[in-house]
Amino acid sequence: MERLDKRLANTGTWSRKEARELIRAGRVAADGTVCRAPEQKVPETAAVTVDGAPIGGGGPVYLMLNKPAGVVSSTDEPGERTVMDLLGPEWRNRGLFPAGRLDKDTEGLLLITDDGPLAHRLLAPKRHVDKVYYVEVDGVLDQGDAEAVEAGIVLGDGTACRPGELELLSGSAARITIHEGKYHQVKRMLASRGKPVRYLRRERFGPLILDPDLPKGGWRALTEEEIQALFRQ
């Protein structure tokens, strides 16, 4: 048996003090049970998690982040706040990266992982993973816009977008589904209709649905079901 704070500190990721704080904050579980006592002894074989993720470089990590506006989707960009800065220090230097990009001013669902092969598969253009966005534009969206999205919009530079879906919600708001991920795609599609995007939030990425309990800037580990669904994608 080993003290829980020692077990965390032994990974080299946290100091003993940081480990005690994490435990008292209720972020640490041993074999699925949250444990708030740093001095609690756990068997060496116990599966210990922090925020649901195995410690000590266990398996791959899969996090769902509710990206706020104002941060960039990269691991390191001089002069910018990145999505990685939103995660706690325990997630630094673990090889995590955002699987895909949202623009700096776009909010919503971003998958953060260290599983390169899965990310590669999900982002492969041929895979056509669905992405669903809530969008608000300057102007009024109408049936003509929905039909154009469904037919496949050709952008100003001649790039052809695959057919998508546009569900009209109110005058300027809609839910748009695209099946690819070209640079600034939603903004360019709607700009080509003369309706510049003024707000964009990703609500779905393949089988993953943005958790409504996650505040902007909040994140959590994916559940086992969510991970399995990603692998089936």
Asked if 102 touches ligand URA (CB under 6 A), the answer is yes
Catalytic residue among 5, 51, 103, 145: 103
Q: Smaller CB distance to ligand URA: residue 103 or 211?
A: 103
Q: Residue 178 CB, nearest distance to ligand URA (Å)?
A: 7
Stretch that binds ligand URA, among 14-22, 57-65, 137-145, 181-189 (CB under 6 A): 181-189
3-state secondary structure of 109: strand
HSE, side-chain direction, 13 A CA sphere, residue 233: 25
Q: Which of 4, 83, 174, 200 binds ligand URA (CB under 6 A)?
A: 200
d(CA 211, CA 222): 10
Q: Smaller CB distance to ligand URA: residue 52 or 68?
A: 68
Q: Which of 61, 119, 153, 186 binds ligand URA (CB under 6 A)?
A: 186
Stretch that binds ligand URA, among 36-44, 152-160, 183-191, 221-229 (CB under 6 A): 183-191
Are 136 and 187 within 8 A, CB to CB?
A: no
Q: Residue 64 CB, nearest distance to ligand URA (Å)?
A: 16
Query: Residues 87-120, buried b or exposed e (16+ Cβ, 10 A)?
Result: beebbeeeebbbbbbbbeebbbbbbbbbbeebbe
User: Both tokens of residue 13?
Assistant: 């990721």
Are 220 and 51 within 8 A, CB to CB?
A: yes
Q: C-alpha dihedral over 95, 11, 51, 67, to 10 degrees? A: -30
Asked if 42 touches ligand URA (CB under 6 A), the answer is no
Q: Which of 118, 185, 208, 227 binds ligand URA (CB under 6 A)?
A: 185
User: Both tokens of residue 64?
Assistant: 């769902």
Q: Smaller CB distance to ligand URA: residue 49 or 185?
A: 185
Stretch that binds ligand URA, among 8-16, 61-69, 100-108, 136-144 (CB under 6 A): 100-108
* Amino acid identity, position 5: D
| Site residue total, ligand URA (CB under 6 A) | 8
For 65, 128, 190, 215, the CA distances from 218, given in Å and listed in that order, are 6, 27, 29, 5
The answer to whether residue 85 is catalytic is no
Residues that bind ligand URA (CB under 6 A): 102-103, 106, 184-187, 200
List the catalytic residues: 103
